[in-house]
Each structure stands twice: as structure tokens, then as C-alpha cells.
Amino acid sequence: MRGFKLLMVCLFFLLAGCGYKDIDKRFFVVAIGVDKSNSDHGKYKITFKVAIPPDKPSAKSNEAEIITTDSDSMTEAVRITRAQLDKEIDFSHTKAIIFGQSLVQKENVSEIIDWFVRRRDIQRIAYTGVGSPTALEVLKVRPAFERLPGNSLFLYFGRSGTEAPYVITEPLFDFYRRIKEKGIDPVLPIIQAEGDKYSILSSAIFKNYRMNLTLNDLESEILNSFLGRLKKTDFKIQANGESFFVFADSVKLNYDLLAGEKPTIHIHCKMSVTIEESKQTLALEKMHQLQILTEQEIRKNVLKLVKKFQQANVDPIGFGLRYRGSHLNNQTEWQKWEDIYPEIEFTMKAEVKVRGTGSIY
């Protein structure tokens, strides 16, 4: 009995996964870029950004090795890249996956993403994005303020650094979910490489596994609020010859789906703002008027955006998923929604509370 117990304990150790490999004998791939290949070696041009560790911990070093391979599949690309490096390639810290713009416009993205979601060692929290002009260009960027290779991108998307309102964060698991799920479409940030800086202003919406629609900065910002990922932002209000900026420290955008005789999506917006900048003198008596102007402007912009989605027949907010979730006729619901969506009516109520005109009186 004792021997048996001992044996059982020893069997535990067979569960030990990968073998012993020191951390300094590994090359950490911090970002992977996938582009469309022009050569005849393969369909894809796959780029690995491999971090070169700094000699001294205090030293600034965002040195990285960029390795590009043409291949038909990720597996082959990894195999070829292995031959070019003297240490074991390690994907456990791959936290950015960039798809080239020209690739996702034409190729089926679910085919490319397959390798990423199948590999155990790629973290599902890796950030995804569209690289413009190419993923390779994005990976090559080395901002002067970056301390470690790839860290800049992680700070952008991780929300531990910047809180820029245009940056849409899309982790791999959510991207994959949106690809597979009916009624909600993927949206990825477009990362623009500009010299030694990134610029993340616009975003791309996918439909049928391909990039379908591009959103500009204001639209990305509103979508971000819709997705509940944005708490603080600012808006430009321009109406009746007046122009001023409001800073919103709390934005709540949600909607009701009323699928009755006449299907309607009713959007509520609650916002608490202060005036941040103004071209004219603002009188305290005009506060109420400012509030109305702001409400109108917000209403106009939001409705414009959702109608744009409707026209392009894309659904990044997930109205369709909400419909499916609240209707229990599994066979027909999706067909029905596809009929409803192009005709659905949008109404909106914006409640803005102007809390002040800033710290000048």
C-alpha cells in the first residue's frame, strides 16, 4: 500500500510540462506581424520582433531583432526563424499581434488567427491591431521614449499608460470571439507607423473575416464609449456659430432594443462635462443653452455613427447579439435579425450635465 502511494506521488511528476530551459537561453518574441507576401515563397510575410535583453537592468534598451520570413503558414515561419536564432524562441510574452492592412482587406483573418489561438504559449490577452501601411513597418518603429522593446505598444493598449480616447483595445480572446460569434463584429485599432512613433487614431471593423469599414478618430471615440471602455474623453461642440470643447469625466452610453411591431434601438447617453476650451466668452446664464447644444451635438454624432454601421451592415456594438440573447427561437432568430437590422430605427436621448465652465470664472 505504501509502495503504491509512493508510486502515485511519483506519477505526479510525469505531469511536468516543458523541460528546463534557462531564461537567458530564450529569445522572447514580443510582437508578431503578419503581412501579405509579394514573393512566391508563401502567402504571408511573417515578422517576429525579438527582444534583445539589456546588459544592465538600468540601461535604456529597446533593441530588438526583426526577423522576417515568407511562408504559407505560421508553423513553417516559426521553424525557419528557429534556424536563424541561437536561442530557443519563446512566445510566452508575445503581447502584440499586428496584421498588415493590405492583408486583412483581402485575406480571411480567421485562417491567420488559427495558429495564435491554438498555441498554448501565446497568451490570449495579447493585443491585436491592424498595421498601416504594413505590420512590418509598425514592428520596426522604435520610439525614443520606449524602455523595452515593444513596451510602447503594451502601454498604449494596456491602459496602464495612456488613456487616449481613440485607442481601441482588442485582446486576442475577444477578437476571436467576435470573429466566431454571430451578431457582433470585430473591431481592431489601426496602428499607423510614422517615423519613430506610432499614431493610433482610427479603427477598422471586420465583416465576413475581412476588414470592411474604417472609422475615423471621433467615430472610434464614440465606439469606445459604447463598448464601455472609455471613461474620460472630450468632444468638440460646434453649433450656431459657437464652438467650444467639453471634457466629459463620466460617459455612459447604453441602449435598449425594442423589437416590437416597429423594431427600434433606443440609445441613452449620460454624461457629466465641464467646459475645457472656448472661443467665445461664456456667461453663466448660458449654461443651460450650452447643455442643450452639447446634447444635440452628441446625439447627432452618435446617430450618425450607428447609421453608418447599419448602412455597411456591420455590428461592432453587438445589437445582433443582444437580439439573439433576448429571443428564444434558435432556428429563425438570426435570419429574422438579418431582416430587421437594415430597417431598424434608432432613437436617442442624451442627458448632459454641465458641471462648470472650468476653473476660470
Partner 1 sequence: MYKSNPAKSLLPWLQSQLAESDDICLQKLESKEKKAQLFYIKSICDQAFIQDHLLIPFFETDSLHDYLSYIDNLFQTSSYISPEKTLNQLLHGSVVFISGMNIRLIDIRKVANTGISEAKIESTVQGPQNSFSEDIATNLNMIRDRYYQPSLKIENQEIGNQAPTPIAIIYDEKLVDPAVLESVNKRLAEIQGEMAIILSIGQLERHLSRRKRTMFPTIMLTERPDRVAYNLAQGKIAIVMQGNPFVLLVPSVFFDFMASMDDLYHTYWTSRFVVVLRYLGLFITITLPSLYVVSTAYNPELFRVQLAVTIAGSRISVPYPAFVEVFLMLLMMEFLTEASLRLPKMIGSTATTVGGLILGQAATEAALVSNIMVILIAAVAISNFVIPINAMGFAMRGVKYLLLFISTVFGMIGFIVGLVGIVAYLVHLDSFGQPYLKLFMKSSTDQEEITRVKEEQG
Q: How far is the CB of 149 from partner 1 (least distance, A)?
A: 7
Stretch that binds partner 1, among 55-63, 69-77, 252-260, 303-311 (CB under 8 A): 55-63
Looking at the Cβ atoms of 28 and 337, the one nearer to partner 1 is 28
* Selection from 297, 315, 188 nearest residue 255 by Cα: 315
Q: Which of 44, 48, 127, 154 is close enough to bind partner 1 by CB under 8 A?
A: 154
When binding is defined by CB under 8 A, the residue of 1, 3, 55, 361 that contacts partner 1 is 55
Environment class of 248 (CB within 10 Å of its CB; exposed 0-12, middle 13-18, buried 19+): buried
- Cβ nearer to partner 1, comparing 53 with 358: 53
- In eight-state DSSP terms, residue 25 is G
Q: Determine which residue in the list 3, 38, 40, 56 makes contact with partner 1, applying CB under 8 A.
A: 56
24 part of the interface to partner 1, by CB under 8 A: yes
d(CA 193, CA 140): 9
Residue type present at position 53: P
- Rounded CA separation 272/262 (Å): 32
Stretch that binds partner 1, among 20-28, 199-207, 215-223, 273-281 (CB under 8 A): 20-28
**Main-chain phi, psi angles of 252, to 5 degrees:** -125, 115
Binding test (CB under 8 A) with partner 1, winner from 1, 2, 7, 17: 17
Q: Is 65 in the site for partner 1 (CB under 8 A)?
A: no
Among 32, 34, 51, 253, binds partner 1 (CB under 8 A): 51
Pairing outcome for strands 64-71 and 88-90: unpaired
Residue type for position 264? T
| Cis bond before residue 133 (omega within 30° of 0) | yes
22 is a contact residue toward partner 1 (CB under 8 A): yes
Binding mask 90-129 for partner 1 (x = CB under 8 A): x-xx-x-------------------------x-x------
340 is an interface residue for partner 1 by CB under 8 A:
no
- Asked whether position 1 contacts partner 1 by CB under 8 A, the answer is no
Closest CA to 183 of 330, 79, 288: 330
CA 276 to CA 289: how far, in whole Å? 16
| Interface with partner 1: number of residues (CB under 8 A) | 34
Site string for partner 1, 74-93 (x = CB under 8 A): ----------------x-xx
Helix axes 217-226, 287-312, angle to 10 degrees: 90
Contact between 144 and partner 1 by CB under 8 A: the answer reads no
Alpha helices by DSSP H, listed for the chain, are 2-12, 74-82, 101-106, 109-118, 135-140, 151-158, 172-180, 217-226, 287-312, 319-326, 333-340
- DSSP assignment of 294-323, as one string? HHHHHHHHHHHHHHHHHHHT--SS-HHHHH
* 53 near partner 1, judged by CB under 8 A: yes
Stretch that binds partner 1, among 129-137, 148-156, 262-270, 329-337 (CB under 8 A): 148-156
List residues binding partner 1 (CB under 8 A): 9, 12-13, 15-18, 20-24, 26, 28, 30, 51, 53-57, 61, 90, 92-93, 95, 121, 123, 147-151, 154
